[in-house]
Amino acid sequence: MTTPVKIVMVEDDHGHARLIEKNIRRANISNEIAHFADGGSALDYLFSDEVKANGPLLILLDLNLPDMSGTDILQKVKGDERLRRAPVVILTTTDDKVEIQRCYDLGCNVYITKPVDYESFADAIRQLGLFLSVMQAPDIE
């Protein structure tokens, strides 16, 4: 039996984090969610022994973080021999074309703009949940 995918959410806005979590749960996704409010602690966790020892990961990443840009984290994750296979979903307010391109260039798997309109937002998260429920994440070893 495969280990369930663990969701690592890097989001500095607690309101956003809670809304994302609520909507993921509403989509009947019960995977464990680890939430980090800044880039530093998220990186510490991603490169810790605990993560190395445990199963597959999915990273939900915001770009506007207080201590660094989300793209820095993306770059480090995609530059790491083990972590680079983990799917990264960028979930952010920025809908700047250049920024989106840059993220895909760095190897992000999905880029989602947080719409201000809540219905669309909730919808997007639910769809993401559906997506997660069928997604196969590779093992990290």
In whole angstroms, the minimum distance from the beta carbon of 70 to other proteins comes to 12
Q: At what angle do helices 118-134 and 14-26 cross, to 10 degrees?
A: 60
Q: Which stretch binds other proteins (CB under 8 A): 29-37, 44-52, 72-80, 91-99?
A: 91-99
* SS3 call for 115: coil
Among 69, 75, 93, 109, binds other proteins (CB under 8 A): 93
Euclidean distance between CA atoms 127 and 119, whole angstroms: 12
The answer to whether the beta carbons of residues 57 and 89 sit under 8 Å apart is no
Among 6, 27, 56, 121, binds other proteins (CB under 8 A): 121
Binding site residues, other proteins, CB under 8 A? 13, 15-16, 19, 22, 64, 93-94, 96, 114, 116-119, 121-122
